[in-house]
Amino acid sequence: MTEPGPWQDAAAGLPHPEHDRAQSPLPARAYPRGPQLAALDGGRGNRVLNLILVGLLALVAVGTLVYFADSLGANVFLICGALALIPLGICLFTLLWIDRWEPEPKSALLFAFSWGAGMSVAASLVVGQLVRPLLLAGSALSNPESVSALLQAPLVEEIFKGLGVLLIFLLRRRTFDGPINGVVYAGTVAAGFAFTENILYFGSAMTAQQDVGPGLIATFVIRGLMSPFAHVMFTATLGAILGYAARHGGTALALCAWTAGLIPAMLLHALWNSSSMISANFLVVYGALQLPIFVLYVLGVVLLRLSEARLTRRRLSEYVPSGWFLPEEITMIGTGAGRRRAVAWARTFGAAGTMKRFINLATRLAFTRQRILAGSRLSDSLQQESVLLERVTAAREELLSRQAGTARPAHS
């Protein structure tokens, strides 16, 4: 016997089928069924294209790292690469936690990371060398280091990181449907970029002293522990703006938003770099400028998640009159507490993964409904809505069947 579900009281008043579902947090009602439809990813052709692109970008990333390994030396590269994995892990773990209820496709995240770690780094280095003389000639700054930190790096690096985010939007339009998606994709690109850049910074500090010394330790603490999210915050700003435009409009609006999103990304990047050049106590500058920026970033992500929860409840509520969902499910899917309780209930009979899939599909359905209302790629969005409704129903049936001890596999 499983433990009572968190919506037992609500479910108890509903009509029950042949087996007792009074303990389930899911409503016991006959739901409409639709035809079996195409896959959500757009078909086999798209999957093959995505795999080819990911493979090519992964090769570029590996080639870039091999080039730096040759430049730094194998021993230095291995030590600095191991150190760079620590801030990378912090960033990726945080991004995956933010994205846990509607996870992005692994292939798209690998695309994002590979672009950041390889293509954006290589392109920034090559193009940066070309534009530096132009920036020096056209700027009031005469110090090459100041020009590099305040103009070249923000301009060139954010453009090439941003191009990766834009490519993901164009290639994976179905899964790029909101600010949180934009934050996750852009943050993953930036995490890849920061990983490779950290290896270079750590390697420079290590080779300057020919050993693991105070310079390397200080650089690691500052870049790897005190500010691991710097690049993530810059580019995630662009990603959030692009994601908002993707939710409320078409490709033209998204392209305008991408261009506009580069401005705050570059400004944040320049502001952050300028703080490291202030001739004052680092901890004072860190506490007065860098830490508040990070706090504002965290607050922004929290507000975006709350906004997405409200949108999820609003859009899924529109399916209630036709019987696809009941009000109790809207509360379950559209609140953090409801999701946690639902997963805990499903875990009592070994179906936590199925419940998470049910919540994920329902959340994607809400965002697809929003695109339909915005008139964005209407035909494609309507087809995806049908597929998602079918899969939500299949996942619900699997949950209820497993709870009753007669599991049937959901449609793949």
Q: What CA–CA distances, in Å, run from 12 to 2, 324, 326, 399?
A: 16, 19, 13, 17
Show me where the domains of the chain are located: 8-30+313-404, 44-277
* Least trusted range by pLDDT, from 11-15, 51-55, 217-221: 11-15
pLDDT of residue 280: 67
Q: State mean pLDDT over 406-411.
A: 52
pLDDT of residue 44: 64
151-168: string of b/e by CB count within 10 Å (b at 16+)? bbbbbbbbbbbbbbbbbb
Question: Per the structure block, which two tokens stand in for 99?
Answer: 């994205």
Per-residue pLDDT reduced to its tens digit, 121-172: 999 999 999 999 888 887 777 788 888 889 999 999 999 999 999 999 999 8
Average pLDDT, the chain: 85
pLDDT of residue 213: 78
Question: Per the structure block, which two tokens stand in for 359?
Answer: 């919540």
Q: State mean pLDDT over 316-341.
A: 91
Q: State mean pLDDT over 16-40.
A: 42
pLDDT higher at 130 or 1: 130
Per-residue pLDDT reduced to its tens digit, 231-287: 999 999 999 999 999 988 888 999 999 999 999 999 999 999 988 777 667 788 888
Residues 400 and 379: their CA atoms lie apart, in Å, by 32
Per-residue pLDDT reduced to its tens digit, 185-202: 999 999 999 999 999 999
Per-residue pLDDT reduced to its tens digit, 362-390: 999 999 999 898 887 788 889 999 999 99
DSSP class of residue 376?
A: T
pLDDT of residue 5: 46
